[in-house]
Amino acid sequence: MARMKLVLVGNGMAGIRTLEELLKSAPDMYDITVFGDEPHPNYNRIMLSPVLAGEQTVEQIVLNGRDWYAGHGIALHTGKRVVKIDRGNRFVEADDGTRASYDRLLLATGSKPFILPVPGADLDGVVGFRDIADVDHMIRASAQYKHAVVIGGGLLGLEAANGLKQRGMEVSVVHIGDWLLERQLDEPAARLLQQNLEAKGLKFLLRKQTRELVRGESGRVCAVQFKDGETAPADLVVMAVGIRPNTALAESAGLQCQRGIVVNDTMQTFDPRIYAVGECVNHRGIAYGLVAPLFEQAKVCANHLAEHGVGIYRGSMTSTKLKVTGIDLFSAGNFMGGEGTEEIVFQDPGRGAYKKLVLQDNKLAGACLYGDTLDGAWYFELMRDGTDVSDFRDKLLFGRHHIGDSGAGGGLGDEKTRLLAMPDSAEICGCNGVCKGDIVKSIRDKKLFTLDEVRAHTKASASCGSCTGLVETLLAATVGGDYSTAPSKKPLCGCTEHTHDEIRAAIAEQGLKTMADTMQALGWQTPDGCNKCRPALNYYLLCAWPGEYRDDAQSRFINERAHGNIQKDGSFSVVPRMFGGLCTPAELRAIADVADKFQVPEMKVTGGQRIDLFGVKKEDLPAMWQDLSAAGFVSGHAYGKAMRTVKTCVGAKWCRFGTQDSTGLGVKLEELTWGSWMPHKFKLAVSGCPRNCAEATIKDFGVVCVDSGYELHIGGNGGIKVRVTDLLCRVATEEEVLEYCAAFTQLYREEAHYLERTAPWVERVGLAHVKARVVEDEASRKALAERFRLSQEPAQVDPWKERTEGALTREFTPIQVSA
């Protein structure tokens, strides 16, 4: 019997989930063709936010790779938008002329972002937040521009704002409402969220209406103007004000559409050969935008496409479980309350916890949770089942675990205990409808040991990821051990199964001295690696084999290859090194001569006590560095994952409060550490007295001079997340300062993960570990310091002579600008 032909228009999560369900029950019933207007296979749209934030790659969020389609005999057409449905002759046609006939047609065209109809909405730099192309646009903009405005204080808007902040932009969130996430949170919970996000550096403009997006001189958006007359600078504007069902194709085919493609309880449209699922659908007057209802629709639709004819979709009672920039949120039902309702509230701002339960007629009518959301699934069950809570109302706020306890209310309980006390029917993954019992049974029966294995077999935690912590806790409890102490293995990237630490150990233990040897020995899954693993491998090899390994310029970022910081207009800035901030009249004249010769449009004294030359053309960089080298300058490495600056104050030589020669010591530290490749940028400072004018206590390595000698501080950060240093120790002499600095720096170089600053590294390994290696064990300290010095200077030379003769040795020699 010939197979029927099924065509799916829309390669997103709802449509492909329908095919997955169909292939389970009727794998040989259809020849399947899929059209997607994006050039990618099916991916998890919910995880675009981590991609924007740099936490995941596009490859990591792909749900079904091209091999999945091929393995099931599915003809996949990516990058082709279907523009015509011929219902009479039963075929669809794409914008490139590709046709496919059908016996059954499934529409899963999703939704499109709503763009405010204001002047300037069509300017360059204005983008929605809906697909990979939008994310790519934002990532490119974040590398060139400074100011971003996100219009919309809903979930997508906050995730976009967080991602752009992570990318280094200054971000303002504009919201028309009185508080953020007003559809998911009440005002007290939203205020807690706003305070948390403001502490991370985001700015909020509430109760603002956009009047116009202002055009700049370049033709790109430059500002947002509001109806109250105020403006906000904007090099990038992200519209996150809502979505609209994408019904244009269905309407052109004459299908009934009313704020979505109208379907019945079997997901059929007005034409019985055509089905529809997902955000494009209007079912009983409701269009759903959450994953769980869409997957319920997919299961019913697949049931009817398989001609079983028993599935009915009656709509979904929805709850919202979110993770906004690492903060857990949950809401369901009538959480705002109102006439005829009662509220039970727990609030602990210091702990970042908030719970609000709304009761009506002794039944739970709504819930809003901030911070502690473990009992959200249970509260949702109570609402869905209409359970009378009279008998345990006094303990309701404290969760399922406390129902039946002898104490009146008790404490909040720890998460693991409460999770294990849940019945097997408790829903853990709302997106995919996976219960606790299903997860535990799969772990036991299939002998699963990793989160990825649980995801693959149950789909729990595979969609939005908000239940990941619960799944991991169940996994640890089922296979044995305490998850809080269980090792967490996170590979370097998708090219390998090995972690940063495993790779570094293998390089040293197996004597791997080239990138190719390392990839071969460790079973790399891609022949040439990717833009995440190649820079890391290049650094690890450089650190492990100084003087032997040859630096691979093409595995470096453009800034490091060009020896200049790329700016938003595509030009570069050049920073000659000025040791300790000191300079001579001859050096100033040399910089001025170079600026004149190359027509540098702007010069600035930086916060690191150097002179920055802005607006340099890329083609001028080699000649400019040649002139600067001839004048005795080496690079300030403002672009590198390297030692950047040693900031100093004038110290005892000039200042009446100074206790030691901070400037002279700063010069010695800079001479010691310049030319050092690091896992990330590395900054030092020396303050001449406890007044700390050089801000030594927010640097990677800081020295505060005191009457008795020197306080040494480590692990500071003055960036987005300010971290005050930890006190490493006190020493009496400059020689000790240099030794301890070299030892600490080398320990960081040898143990930190690539792109890990000293602040998170110290927090990860612990201050006690650093002190044990650098302070308490003299042999270890001296060995580390010696390894650092040997790795820095292939030949013993006088650093001052090196500078005056213009020699560029060490790991950076000679400066050659590459493409």
Query: Which residue numbers belong to the known binding site for siroheme?
Result: 693
Rounded Cα gap, residues 237 and 224, in angstroms? 8
Q: Count the residues in the chain.
A: 819
- Angle in degrees, CA 461, 54, 617, rounded to 5: 165
Beta carbons of 713 and 729 less than 8 angstroms apart: no
Beta carbons of 687 and 694 less than 8 angstroms apart: yes
CA distances from 544 to 87, 528, 748, 788 (A): 66, 21, 13, 11
Rounded Cα gap, residues 614 and 574, in angstroms? 7
Non-local (6+) Cβ contacts of 288 within 8 A are: 279, 281, 294, 297, 316, 318
Beta carbons of 236 and 141 less than 8 angstroms apart: yes
Rounded Cα gap, residues 408 and 326, in angstroms? 32
- Angle in degrees, CA 304, 307, 313, rounded to 5: 20
Count of beta carbons in the 10 Å neighbourhood of residue 423: 11
Exposure b/e, 435-456, CB count within 10 A at least 16 = b: bbebbbebbeeeebeebeebbe
DSSP category for residue 390: G
Relative to beta strand 261-263, strand 281-283 is parallel
Closest listed residue to residue 198, CA positions, set 224, 180, 210 = 180
Beta carbons of 652 and 613 less than 8 angstroms apart: no
Copy the structure tokens of residue 120.
Answer: 């300037």
Beta carbons of 322 and 466 less than 8 angstroms apart: yes
Sign of torsion over alpha carbons 705, 706, 709, 710: negative
The helix-helix angle for 621-630 and 585-597 (nearest 10°) equals 160
Q: What are the backbone dihedrals phi and psi of residue 614, each rounded to the nearest 5 degrees, phi first? A: -100, 155
Copy the structure tokens of residue 10.
Answer: 């829309």
Exposure b/e, 570-593, CB count within 10 A at least 16 = b: ebbbbbbbbbbbebeeebeebbee
Closest listed residue to residue 461, CA positions, set 444, 485, 446, 443 = 443
Phi-psi region of 672 (alpha: psi -120 to 50; beta: other; left: phi over 0): alpha
Annotated binding-site positions: 649, 655, 689, 693
Rounded Cα gap, residues 541 and 551, in angstroms? 9
Beta carbons of 48 and 89 less than 8 angstroms apart: no
Annotated binding-site positions for [4Fe-4S] cluster: 649, 655, 689, 693
Beta carbons of 308 and 354 less than 8 angstroms apart: no
